[in-house]
Amino acid sequence: MCGIVGYVGKRECADVLVDGLKRLEYRGYDSSGIAVFQNGKIAVEKSKGKLVDLESKMEKQGKPQGHCGIGHTRWATHGEPSDINSHPHGNKRVTIVHNGIIENYRQIKEFLIGQGYGFESETDTETVAKLLDYFYSGDPIETISKMIDKVNGSYALGILFRDFPDTVFAVRKESPLIIGLGEGENFIASDVTPILKYTKNYYLLEYNEIAVIKEDSVTICTPEGKEIHKEVHTADWDVDAAEKGGYEHFMLKEINEQPVAIKTTIAPRIQEGMPYLEESGLTMEMLKNYRRIFVVACGTAMHAGLVGKYVIEKLARVEVTVDIASEFRYRDPLIEKEDLVILISQSGETADTYAALKMAKERGADTLGIVNVKGSTIARESDIVIYTHAGPEISVASTKAYSVQLSIMYLLAFELAYAKGAISKERCMELTKQLADIPEKLNEVLGIKERCQFIASRLVNAESLLYIGRGLDYALSMEGSLKLKEISYIHSESYAAGELKHGTISLVTEDMPVIAVATQSNLLEKTISNVKEVKARGAKVNVICTEDVEIGKDVANHLIKIPKMEDLLMPLLAAVPMQYIAYYTAVLKGCDVDQPRNLAKSVTVE
């Protein structure tokens, strides 16, 4: 959940670290800090709050000067956000930054207290720093190896040893870490975004590999000290992709990037008008033989799975179970060897989704990762991986990642339905063609932002909202509701429209605005009946529907009309007004849209 950077080279290290942390701030933003070698000593600066707080502290007090150091942006797990709990941690001899959770930190702490060590912070990280100090023998590799033997849990660590003032050491287990390879300078980072400005080449650090990073060399070795030769990867994201590019917020930029993201994701997977997923290793033969499908994910990615369920079951007539990963991993699901388990994850690092992947593999099912971040853990460990090509998604609220996840679920559903003989080749081609037309239609939908701004102005003072819909509209309304809660802090709930009168309608008053999604032609009449029911109880109702639908003022207060396409594909279009409404409501409320309170982009802890 935290972001790590490290630098060795000729540049002013503090500047490189702070710039890198800005790009990683989405991973956690309750405190930050850096440690830099200054005249042979480790100088540390840290501060509670956003990175700007650290910057202004350093402006007043002066920043550490030097060319080798590490930095951290934190999402608190052990101990509240405070100056003392901020990273880096350690002492004058060993200083570290850490992303992950040390499970046995209490035992280690007790042991070290017994050895005479004192502790300042409430963090698990400080125990690792002091443990490294305890083991330190003058040989960093040996010291890190001993630490690896004693520590349980997940970690990516950037480490400075006072005796090695030109070197950053790094090691990881479960939490991600890459080594950026520059010219006369090298880096460590939690993902590629901090290095893109300087280089696109990097190594992926594997479990318990130890990296020794100097300005003109990078050596990777095993805990036993055996050197490892690594493959150099090249990032295909460019530096602009991780900039706001003139938009006020990353979220707005990412909403607007959806047509291109979808096009880039689906174009290479359509051949001669048919879905083509074989390149990723998913053959027609395999698809034909799967008995059941499980989709496991968290948050927005799980909502993409719900849309996928409707579409796959409708077209391919294959049973699909969608699970929240944190539930799936503990509910002892009935997975068999003939099943396919799909893990959807933007980051590819979500701890619960990763645990679900491991469990599915243990039970012998095929695993398919639908992942955005190249080389991430879920991508690397799934049997089959289909990358979504959304580019970096920086805003904590997921938008374009959702659309590309949906696009892959559609292609998969079409191909599966064809493989199972449930639809003809002509129908498969027709659906694929409509999917390929989505980016163009989306450009039209992006034009309705003023309408959504207006609706947002009506919601801004609400304490609670209800999202309703049926079928695919219900699946989508869950995502709309999550988006609003996440960034505007207005409570909302999504409800199957037909279920309202079994209890929840008692909440409806004139103070509870309703957003109804009504894009499914076969369910339109039914949904409109439900809209009338809430309107009759005083609710102000906003309906998202297709342009051909006429709904009177007596039924809905405001309409948002979007182009009409095949019912099955409507979630891709209707997602945009949902995203805009959440975005503009949060903006009007003055919320921190890209970095909502208590959240982090990548949830690498359970």
Query: Can you tell me whether residue 206 is helix, strand or coil?
Result: coil
Catalytic residue chosen out of the listed positions 46, 420, 441, 601: 601
Q: How far is the CB of 376 from ligand M6R (least distance, A)?
A: 9
The greatest distance separating any two alpha carbons of the chain, rounded to the nearest whole angstrom, comes to 79
Q: Nearest approach, Cβ of 182 to ligand M6R (angstroms)?
A: 28
Nearer to ligand M6R, 341 or 518 (CB): 341
**Among 2, 13, 68, 428, the one annotated catalytic:** 2
Nearer to ligand M6R, 44 or 296 (CB): 296
What string of DSSP letters covers 111-167?
A: HHHHTT----SS-SHHHHHHHHHHH-SS-HHHHHHHHHHH--EEEEEEEEETT-TT-
- Based on the shown chain and the rule CB under 6 A, indicate whether residue 585 belongs to the binding site for ligand M6R: no
C-alpha dist (Å) from residue 354 to 318, 383, 468? 24, 13, 31
Nearer to ligand M6R, 108 or 404 (CB): 404
Under 8 Å between Cβ of 530 and 482: no
Residue 251 and residue 395 in contact, taking contact as beta carbons nearer than 8 Å? yes
Task: For residues 122 and 2, give the distance between their C-alpha atoms in angstroms, rounded to a whole number.
Answer: 16
CB of 370 to ligand M6R, least distance (A): 9
- The question of whether 545 is a catalytic residue gets the answer no
Contact region for ligand M6R (CB under 6 A) — 156-164, 213-221, 298-306, 532-540? 298-306
* 2 a catalytic residue: yes
Asked if 298 touches ligand M6R (CB under 6 A), the answer is: yes
Q: Is 192 exposed, middle or buried (0-12, 13-18, 19+ CB in 10 A)?
A: buried
What CA–CA distance (Å, rounded) separates 575 from 442? 10
- For residue 248, the minimal CB distance to ligand M6R (Å) is 18
Under rule CB under 6 A, residue 299 binds ligand M6R: yes
Give yes or no for residue 486 binding ligand M6R (CB under 6 A).
yes
Region of 67-75, 165-173, 294-302, 509-517 interacting with ligand M6R (CB under 6 A): 294-302
Residue list 383-412, contact with ligand M6R (CB under 6 A): 396-398
Does residue 377 touch ligand M6R according to CB under 6 A?
no
Our CB check for ligand M6R shows the closer of 398 and 403 to be 398
From 193, 345, 388, 604, residue interacting with ligand M6R (rule: CB under 6 A): 345
Two tokens, residue 592: 């921190």
Q: How far is the CB of 303 from ligand M6R (least distance, A)?
A: 8
CA distance 223 to 302: 37
Q: Does 323 bind ligand M6R (CB under 6 A)?
A: no
Q: Of the ranges 28-36, 188-196, 257-265, 344-352, which one interacts with ligand M6R (CB under 6 A)? A: 344-352
Q: From the CB of 301, what's the least distance to ligand M6R, in Å?
A: 4
The distance of closest approach from Cβ of residue 396 to ligand M6R in the complex, given in angstroms and rounded to an integer, is 5
* Cβ atoms of 153 and 107 closer than 8 Å: no
Checking 91-94 for CB contacts under 8 A at 24+ apart, the result is: 91/129, 91/130, 91/133, 92/41, 92/42, 92/162, 93/133, 93/136, 93/161, 93/162, 93/163, 94/129, 94/132, 94/133, 94/136, 94/159, 94/160, 94/161, 94/162
Residue with smaller CB distance to ligand M6R, 396 or 523: 396
Does 252 participate in binding ligand M6R (rule CB under 6 A)? Answer: no
- Cα–Cα distance, 573 to 57 (Å, whole number): 45
- Nearest distance in Å: CB 216, ligand M6R: 35
Check residue 470 and report its DSSP letter: S
Residue written as token pair 């005796």: 163
The token pair that represents 399 in the structure block: 């938008």
The one among 73, 125, 326, 353 contacting ligand M6R by CB under 6 A: 353
Instruction: Judge contact between 534 and 468, C-beta under 8 A.
Output: yes
* 301 lies in the binding site for ligand M6R (CB under 6 A): yes
Tell which positions 26-55 bind ligand M6R, by CB under 6 A. none
Q: Which amino acid is at 482?
A: L
Q: Show Cβ contacts of residue 151 under 8 Å, excluding neighbours closer than 6 positions.
A: 102, 104, 108, 128, 131
Residue 73 CB, nearest distance to ligand M6R (Å)? 17
Asked whether position 603 contacts ligand M6R by CB under 6 A, the answer is yes
Output the residue with the shortest Cβ distance to ligand M6R: 299
Decide if residue 300 touches ligand M6R (CB under 6 A): yes
Q: Which stretch binds ligand M6R (CB under 6 A): 218-226, 340-348, 409-417, 563-571?
A: 340-348
Nearer to ligand M6R, 567 or 594 (CB): 594
Check residue 10 and report its DSSP letter.
S
- Please name the amino acid found at residue 218: V
CB–CB of 519/561 below 8 Å?
no
Residue 191 interacts with ligand M6R (CB under 6 A): yes or no: no
Q: Which of the residues are catalytic?
A: 2, 601
Binding site for ligand M6R (CB under 6 A): 298-301, 345-347, 350, 353, 396-398, 482, 486, 602-603
